Amino acid sequence: MPDDRARDPCATAPLRSRASAPAPLLTPPIAGDSTDGNEIETARAETLDRMMHAWQARFTLSISPAALLLAYADWANHLANAPGKQGALVEKAVRKLTRFALYASRSLTSDCAPCIEPLAQDHRFAAPQWQQMPFNFIYQSFLLTQQWWHNATTGVRGVGAANERIVAFAARQLLDMVSPSNFLATNPELLELTLREGGQNLVRGGLNFVEDWERAVAGKRPVGTDAFVVGRDVAITPGAVIYRNELIELIQYAPATEAVRAEPILIVPAWIMKYYILDLSPGNSLIRHLVASGFTVFCISWRNPPSALRDTSMDDYRRLGVMAALDVVSTICPNAKVHACGYCLGGTLLTIAAAAMARDGDDRLASMTLLAAQADFTEAGELTLFTNESQVAFLEDTMWEQGYLDTKQMAGAFQLLRSNDLIWSQGVRQYLKGERAAMSDLMAWNADATRMPYRMHSEYLRRLFIENDLAEGRFLVEGRPVAISDIRVPIFAVATEADHVAPWKSVYKLHLFADTALAFLLTSGGHNAGIVSEPGHPGRHFRYRERGADARYVDPETWYVTVAVEEGSWWPVWTRWLAERSRDPCPPPDFGAPAAGFVALCPAPGNYVRDS
């Protein structure tokens, strides 16, 4: 049978990395080898342990049971040895019971204010039906219980800060699971809907459940994502793949204006996501906005790594990703420096690459933009719950078996961070109300995740999250440490107010490390929706201020209250900032550089973005 790849210009390139095959589970001793028998037994024991942990991870969303047990042991032992805290908790329980009893007695005879209000982000009990008896008693008692457990799991002297966060987080997950809003018998909205529809909502919900279960078992994407096909509905900005290696495809986009700025833009997205979050539907595509604003745009499309790339390192991502793409862009635009932009993990990788370039005297960058990207990981939000030594070792064993961290394992951890919105509320809506939320391009993209190679992800978690090597000057590139303070090009940093992946105060810490001009912008929205903030999007606002290279430090709290809020999208602010640091418009560059071997291999969005 002929090989179709010989005729398909968009076929996947053959692997050329040193990691051309998965590492064996156990390397047998070679005849005459000096390996001690005890070492062989140790290796076998370690293999068995890894296999056991990998099997456990299938049932725990890749969360280490040992990490949870250690955290609970720390909390329980200190609480057991804290009679003062125990007495305070008993006193709080009595006060809450008294408040609830008074509320219940008063509400029997007249309307009265609730004895406890939900948190601002909690909308489970917002419907007026919840104010009717007995449902007001049910949800009020639940909120009081939730508040008491928060008091019980926090503020215990002697408990490690990380363990306290784990225990409080786990308690919140368990309480969210048994919320009265999740059950037909205790949810007045569901009861009213079921009576009104004669139970048809439950019939639809059952069919929805069966359909979702069948899709999950078959490995299919969620319902509604078929309406957003890559290359047809999303990722349709005109362009071509002009370079490919075993890790990336580099897309050059067609100009939309007669003249373009001389300095091109190179976008480095995170490898945990498909790049087209920045090229969704035409109306909310950041790449299309940049092209329409008169810029030549290049974007990396990361390969969805198979198990054969298990030993791909972080430095491979730097060399074969950022540096390889920069070499190509510099060849196509030889007389211009490059505006580099990194998103999320891509921004962290770009920071590492830029610091190494500055150290080595490579001055090809004109500026650096970081979108929701961290350089310091000491306050990296609730993701730190999954990055202690026990958890990372457990993840390593999971990845060791299959060669990568699977998309479902990553998605489970992210969903737990917002279980109210992403698990329980969704379940109630789809399976009890029988409603299907309308699919959007951003939701469809979110269901199109990528894998993480074993070695790279392990290095990322250990060197950045656990050791914080980049911020503390220990991160090695080609055997020597790099320092963010070496970067001298101007920086534009964007953070989002509701980011649970890269909290804005963590992103703001760049002010402590950068010794160059820094523009910082804080926009409304979360990690993804805040970045996809096209002009005309309703309800968007931002804060923005530029800082000179010699300015004194301003703490984030002071910055927040002293910088005025501006309405609208932040995209035009960024394009103006880029234009001010670019030369006058000139004719667009050619597509690729045929003389150097960089030709149009196939139309955008290429092949790697379609890998599943």
Please list the active-site residues. 344
DSSP summary character for residue 466:
I
Burial class (CB in 10 A: 0-12, 13-18, 19+), 441: buried
Q: What is the 3-state secondary structure (H, E, C) of 339-366?
A: EEEEECHHHHHHHHHHHHHHHHCCCCEE
CA torsion 101-105-108-109 (nearest 10°) is -150
For residue 406, give Cα distances in angstroms to 103, 141, 272, 311, 446. 49, 40, 10, 15, 14
Helices (DSSP H) in 450-509: which residue ranges? 454-460, 504-508
Name the β-bridge partners of 365.
Answer: 338
Cα(222)–Cα(216) distance, rounded to whole angstroms?
Answer: 8
- Which amino acid is present at 85? K
Q: How far apart are CA 411 and CA 70, in angstroms?
A: 24
Q: Are strands 452-453 and 265-268 parallel, antiparallel or unpaired?
A: unpaired
Residue 447 · residue 216 · CB < 8 Å: no
Q: Which residues, in sequence order, are bridge partners of residue 268?
A: 342
How many residues belong to the chain? 612
Largest alpha-carbon pair distance within the chain? 90
* Three-point CA angle 37, 39, 41, nearest 5°: 75
Judge whether 243 and 266 are in contact, CB under 8 Å.
no
Q: How far apart are CA 99 and CA 106, in angstroms?
A: 11
